[in-house]
Every structure is written in C-alpha cells, then in structure tokens.
A and B are shown apart, each in its own frame.
Chain A
Amino acid sequence: MSNNETLRTLVHDARAPLNRISMNAELIKLVLENDMPKEKALAALDKIIANCQQCSESLQDISDLNSTE
C-alpha cells in the first residue's frame, strides 16, 4: 500500500470517532432538553470520551506515518 493510500485509510479511521462524538453530543442535547434520565447522557458522555481517545490515537498514527517518510 502506498503511503498516500495508508494516509487516506488513517484519516478515514480518525473521522469515524468524530462522527460518533458529534452524534453522541446531539443525543445528550436531546436528553437535556427533554429531561430524560441522565444515565443516557452519562453513557453518551462515556462514549465521547472513549472516542476522543481513539481519535487521538488515529491522529498519532498519521503523525507517525509522516515522520517515517
């Protein structure tokens, strides 16, 4: 796989957690706006935190790829 293709895959991998983060944030907004059980919001927040971690790792991979060039 060429470096360029690898980069594209890695960027795709970094985007997936961002999509989840954004959707979970929307869910939390719904929970708060409608006084739904806070457990739902807490679960979504946990997912956001986990996905931030994952996104950060993906970005690190991209950065590592760059330095090996």
Chain B
Amino acid sequence: MLNILLVDDDSEFSEVVCHIVEFLGHNIDTAANLAEAQEWFVNNTFDHVFLDFMLPDGSGLHLVDHLESIGQTPKITLISGHPSVKGKLAEMCAPNVGHLVKPLQREDIERVLNPKKNTEKKKSKPSVNKHFGTLIGESPVMQQLYTMIERVASTNANVMLMGESGAGKEVVAQAIHNASQCAGPLVATNCGALSKELIGSELFGHEKGAFTGAIARKEGVFEQAATGTLFLDEVTEMPIDMQPNLLRVLESKKVTRVGGNKELPVDCRVISATNRSLTDLAQNNIIREDIYFRLAVFPIDIPALRDRKEDIPLLAKAFLEQLNDENGTDFKWQTSQLKELESYDWPGNVRELRHAIHRAFIMSDPKGKSITLPPNLESPFSRVNKQTQANQVSAGQTIEEVEKELIHATLDKVQGNKTLAAQMLGISTKTLYNRLNAYGGIGEYS
C-alpha cells in the first residue's frame, strides 16, 4: 500500500481518481494547488505524488523544486493535459520524475504505481468461444440449449430454468437477457434468501411508512427490471402463502407496492430458476400449479456437467485464462490434467469445477508454468459414494440376483449373524438357510 498525494485543481477529476486509487488499495490525499500541496508535506511524507503541470498558483515543477529543497524524494508523476508538454517533461529526465498525459487510463495509474509489473500485459484474446457472451461449451446438449435460448429470446415468454445446483442457471438467465437485446437491465433476486416479512417489499416495493422501518419508498424488483429481465432464483423456495401475490402480478401484469394504492404496469420478462426436479415440484406441493404454468411458459433444462463431459476441457481453459488475466500469470493445462478433470463426475457442476480450478491455481507454484491439481478432487458433497452406488438396483437384474445381493449385504452388515440377518430381512432363519443353500454361498457365513 502506498501513500499518494494528488495535486490537481479539478476537484471533480480528483474525486474520481481518488475512488480508483483507493480501489487499487492505496491511500490518497488531494491538494488543489501548490500551497496546499506544500502544506501536506510539512507533517507528512508520501511515496508517490501525482502532480498536475498547470496549477492556479504556478507550475507543478515548482513543487518538484520545493521537495528537493526540503529533502523529500517521493516518486513524482507529472500529469499534463497538453501533449506538447510531454517533450519538456522528458527533457528533465530526473530519475524519480515520470509523466503521464491526460486523459489518464487506469492502466497508466497502475503502471506507475507498480513499476515492477511493467511487462507489457498483452490482453490475450480469450481462445474459448462464449455463446451469448456468457456460455461455454460445444457439446450437443449445449447446442440444443443455445437453440432454445435463441428461440425464446425473440419472444417475451416467461422462462423457467431447471438444473442442478451449480449448473449455471444464472449464467443462462444472463444469456437469455443478452440474446433478447432488451433495453432494460437484468435484475436478479434470490427468493430463498429473503425472509417471509421482506419478500413482499423486495418483489413489489413499498411506500414510505408502509411498515416499521420503511423509512423511504423502495422500488420492487419488478419495477427495477422494467423493459428488462427479472431473474427469480430459487423461486420454489418462496413461501407458498406468498405465491398468490406473485401470481396476481404475473396474471394482471400490474404491481402494487406494499402500502401503496397505485397499480404500476409491469413490463419485464420473468426468468425463474429452481434446482428441484419436476416430480419433486409436483409431488411435494412446493409450488402452486397455477404459478408453475405462469412461470414455466417455456421450461429449459440445463444439463449437468457430467452429461457434457466433453465441455470440461473448454471450461477449464476458460477459467484458467481468466485467472491468468487477473493475476498476470501464465499457467497452462497439461493434457493429462484435462483428462483427469474430465474423468471426475462433478456433482457440484460448473461451480465446483470453477472452484476446484481456483484452488489449484492458488496452490500452484507462482513461478512455474504448470498448474498443480490436488491428488483428490472429491469434495465433501461428492456423490461418488461407491458403496451406495454398488447397492443400487438397475433394470435388467433378476429378482434372484437382487435378493442374493440383499442377503449378502445384510449378512455383511451383521458380521454373518444369520438370526439377526433373518430378522432384518423379515424372513425366518430357515428361509435364509434355504436361500443361502440355493446360491451355494452358505460356506462363506458358516
């Protein structure tokens, strides 16, 4: 972190530069003229001074002289609004004085503050094609998804996105929003994250004084998304008694703020998302049928990552490229690593892949070029639970096979105690013996 002084008489310019420099992680103070700047130096030291060339009370060069005379040697970057000054500045060529010409760019500021990272950062063009500016993947299932997005984008139908957690529902919503080229913004809200009390005001807005704590009028997300797209994530987590209110808005295309009496027109596409399956929705009374049909005029299934494994290398490359860009590194995948990523089943889908890559990126030797994958990719949520998978039945097995497997699994569990096993299986000990005899496996447990 550096202490920086900005000397410029344009206060509006100074203010925004301050925001940017603070964001880059430095301290910054400002002075509007030479006198103020000299005052700062009475009791403070600075690592770097950005100095306007033309100040109301003289040239910035006077401050350079002044600092020399009081024995302070911060780095100085003279900023001039006039390209012709550049020559004059270059002539001075004092070692600690640099110069920049307005209009400044953020990269200029970063470069003079971190001279070490001077290596020309070429913005490599991403090599992975992003569909609709967001989606990565060329597999057949994704191609189908792209076609659907294209079709639905040209209409104003409400879309319901279904897919596992981490499959990229919000990214698809963004893609639909991008493809529909509507004028308004994409407003996202997570219905699962809102408390029962707040959900009404979040969705529909409220008038000042509508309830305790409503100190100002608030626009609901339906209003914010006017002429744009409203993304309702985890819509199925919305309390069922709130759903009639939502239905009313969807049906009448009008919204009334909480505590308000004026109906405002609603003019946005609603994209909702859920990670529950259709059968779960239907059986467990999670969403009212009438709402479902309103929201899911056009349902879209987002494929799980394990159903499009061929896209894993593309995604891995895109994520690594992004990390390289952000951190100025140059890591590359090895083919064997991409194969390893492809062989894992990614129960957390693209999100899990992305985080696994980020973790590997942090673990890797920053001086090296190759990334280090952890020896085990599995997360606590991994579904590759081999035991339960082995016990699953599948079509094509005979009853006898399943029965045999079940008997053996039960016996294993109780360490071969046949009386206990028979009890658990709900058959007599005699039947158990008979069965084991029939399979010819009695020897194992005697």
Contact = CB atoms under 8 A, between A and B. Distances in A.
A27 B82 CA distance: 23
B81 A26 contact: no
A50 B104 CA distance: 19
Contacts of B19: 27, 40
A19 B102 contact: yes
A65 interface: no
Nearest to A22: B103
Contact of B16 (A29, A34, A44): A44
Contacts of A34: 23
Interface bin, chain A: 10 to 19
Given A15-B81, A27-B19, A47 B102 contact: no
Given A12-B81, A15-B81, A20 B16 contact: yes
B12 interface: yes
A49 interface: no
Given A20-B10, A30-B23, A15 B16 contact: no
Given A22-B104, A22-B105, A47 B81 contact: no
Prevailing SS type, chain A contact patch? helix
Contact of A27 (B10, B16, B102): B16
A52 interface: no
Interface string B1-42: 000000000101100110110010000000000000000000
B104 A19 contact: yes
Contacts of A15: 81, 102-103
B19 to A, nearest CB: 5
Interface residues of B, number: 15
B25 to A, nearest CB: 12
Interface in B108-152: none
Contacts of A20: 10, 12-13, 16
A54 to B, nearest CB: 10
Interface string A9-53: 000100110111111101101100010000010001001000100
A26 B13 contact: no
B10 A16 contact: yes
B106 interface: yes
A14 to B, nearest CB: 10
A20 to B, nearest CB: 5
Contacts of A26: 20, 104-106
Given A20-B12, A23-B103, A26-B104, 5 more contacts: A16-B81, A19-B13, A19-B104, A23-B20, A30-B23
30 contacts: A12-B82, A15-B81, A15-B102, A15-B103, A16-B13, A18-B102, A18-B103, A19-B81, A19-B102, A19-B103, A20-B10, A20-B13, A20-B16, A21-B103, A22-B102, A22-B103, A22-B104, A22-B105, A23-B103, A26-B20, A26-B104, A26-B106, A27-B16, A27-B19, A27-B20, A30-B23, A30-B106, A34-B23, A47-B16, A51-B12
